[in-house]
A and B are shown apart, each in its own frame.
Chain A
Amino acid sequence: MANRVGVEVSIALAEAVGLANTDVIAAYPITPQTHIVEHLSELVADGELDAAFIPVESEHSAMSACLGSAAAGARTFTATAGQGLELMHEVLYIASSMQLPIVMAVANRALSSPLSVWSDHSDAMAVRDTGWIQIFVENGQEAVDNIICAFKMAEDHRILLPVMVHLDGFYLTHVIEPVMLPNRREVDNFLPPNDYPLPLWPENPVAMGDFAPPVIYFETKVAQEMNLRKAKGPIIETWEEFNKTFKRHYQPVELYKCENAKVLLFTMGSVSETAMTTIDKMREGGQEVGLVRLRLWRPFPYEEFRNAVKDVETLIVLDKAISFGGPGGPVCSELRSALYNESKKPKIVSIVAGLGGRDITTSDFEQIINRGIDIAQHGSDKEYEIYGVRE
């Protein structure tokens, strides 16, 4: 039976990595990810987890060590945040294009400068196009569950791709929550041993990351793109299988009180739970509002998203990042594109809020929704709206 414990989310996440029988952890500590790798280091040092913990000198080295580890067929984990994710940037592309099943937790953090250790989604948006499967979670339970699922997805022979699990720094990483921690037998039954099909092995030599001249490079990129797109099916199957064992069901797009809603708010990550409280209150007050939350950011679930918003009049999209000099909210820009050719589509309002750990409260959400409704009705001459900045 699973064990319900009160635990800091970072510790619970590290325990999940341990329950997954991870072979190699290569990581560099950075706030707010630190407690995750500290606890993994303890598990290894205390002999509770039979894994190699590689303390490296930078995040670039952390991800590079993960490449080697995964290429040798070892179950591989790392975690980072903010600047650390940026320092990994070029190696992230190599992990995905070499199809190495690495799992990484990202404790979402704002980018410098000025220096901020607090949370937003600037780091996640900067690695949007790296070819990783990317999942957003909203609480500690989802973090634990999706780390376990992430290993199964990454190592699935129909997928074979690295997976990022995004959890908001501090809002999630440093909060103590009740979490159902599965036991080892349950995880073992759900998650078979890693069996990478073409590992580095002297008896069957292979070459990875070769030189590709113009005659073949483009074909490799199309193969990579097709593989990531078709991963959506097996990702959904993994979540369904997880639900059968653990009775918690995850989906690419998740809805909250969307029945008969004319207005939908769109969120990702931990703010979604705050937004739910606001939706409850506004529904009680008679407003027909609902909430759409995106769990699967890559591959983007176009079909599920279009279905979720096809009958609404207004879609208010919250972004916790800015695309400087561009469309404002990077997520909203993608949603607009996803709906542009649809014959029936809602009016879309882009809101940027909560940068660098600026809290978004339930009353903020009420104002955001009401302002969104007003803009949808009366129009705006701006690409996007900024909420919560002193003027």
Chain B
Amino acid sequence: MAKTESEMTWEDIEIGAIATSPGSARQYQTGYWRSQRPILDKSKCIKCGLCYLFCPEGCIKESKEGYFEADLFHCKGCGICYRECWPIAIKMVEEEE
């Protein structure tokens, strides 16, 4: 199993920092850039999937029950899902320290 970026030392860096296998961008944690997080109220959600379509990061996925929820490892907290959710099922809350 290859090391993740956060485990690699400088000696593990490939020639010219060249990526030799696909999918490494998934390892980039962008979630910690967030100052607000989206919270889904399942009682209001109608499973329309608009948030999924509008999420610019592609980090919202459909669960087995058919709800759409953000993957907080990648969600940058932009609030676009909150703005587009017309049944008002998503709210943004401040990230605590």
Q: How far is the CA of A270 from the CA of B38 in the complex (A)?
A: 66
* Chain B neighbourhood of A222, CB < 8 A: 10
In residues 72-99 of chain A, which contact B (Cβ within 8 Å)? 97-99
In the bound complex, do residue A216 and residue B16 qualify as a contact, i.e. CB atoms below 8 Å apart? no
Known contacts: A211-B28, A213-B28, A215-B29. The answer to whether A220 contacts B17 by CB under 8 A is: yes
**Interface SS of chain A:** loop
* Chain A neighbourhood of B8, CB < 8 A: 216, 219
- Could you tell me the distance in whole angstroms from the C-beta of B52 to the nearest C-beta in chain A? 24
* B94 within 8 A of partner (CB): no
In the bound complex, do residue A100 and residue B6 qualify as a contact, i.e. CB atoms below 8 Å apart? no
Known contacts: A210-B24, A215-B29. The answer to whether A220 contacts B19 by CB under 8 A is: no
- For B, the interface residue count at a CB cutoff of 8 angstroms equals 21
In the bound complex, do residue A219 and residue B13 qualify as a contact, i.e. CB atoms below 8 Å apart? yes
* Chain B neighbourhood of A206, CB < 8 A: 18-20
Q: How far is the CA of A367 from the CA of B9 in the complex (A)?
A: 53
- Could you tell me the distance in whole angstroms from the C-beta of A335 to the nearest C-beta in chain B? 28
In the bound complex, do residue B5 and residue A215 qualify as a contact, i.e. CB atoms below 8 Å apart? yes
- Could you tell me the distance in whole angstroms from the C-beta of A304 to the nearest C-beta in chain B? 26
* A233 within 8 A of partner (CB): no
In the bound complex, do residue A197 and residue B17 qualify as a contact, i.e. CB atoms below 8 Å apart? no
- For A, the interface residue count at a CB cutoff of 8 angstroms equals 22
* Chain A neighbourhood of B9, CB < 8 A: 219
- Could you tell me the distance in whole angstroms from the C-beta of B9 to the nearest C-beta in chain A? 7
Q: How far is the CA of A61 from the CA of B5 in the complex (A)?
A: 32
* Chain A neighbourhood of B2, CB < 8 A: none
* Chain B neighbourhood of A198, CB < 8 A: 14-16, 18, 20
In the bound complex, do residue A97 and residue B10 qualify as a contact, i.e. CB atoms below 8 Å apart? no
In the bound complex, do residue A97 and residue B15 qualify as a contact, i.e. CB atoms below 8 Å apart? no
- Could you tell me the distance in whole angstroms from the C-beta of A297 to the nearest C-beta in chain B? 22
Q: How far is the CA of A26 from the CA of B85 in the complex (A)?
A: 53
* A223 within 8 A of partner (CB): yes
In residues 1-45 of chain B, which contact A (Cβ within 8 Å)? 5-6, 8-20, 22, 24-25, 28-30
In the bound complex, do residue A97 and residue B20 qualify as a contact, i.e. CB atoms below 8 Å apart? no
A160 — nearest CB in chain B belongs to which residue? B15
Task: Identify the 3 closest CB pairs spanning chains A and B, nearest first.
Answer: A99-B16, A223-B13, A222-B10
7 contacts between A and B (CB under 8 A): A99-B16, A198-B16, A198-B18, A219-B8, A219-B9, A219-B13, A223-B13
Report which A residues bind B (CB closer than 8 A).
97-100, 160, 197-198, 205-208, 210-213, 215-216, 219-220, 222-223, 226
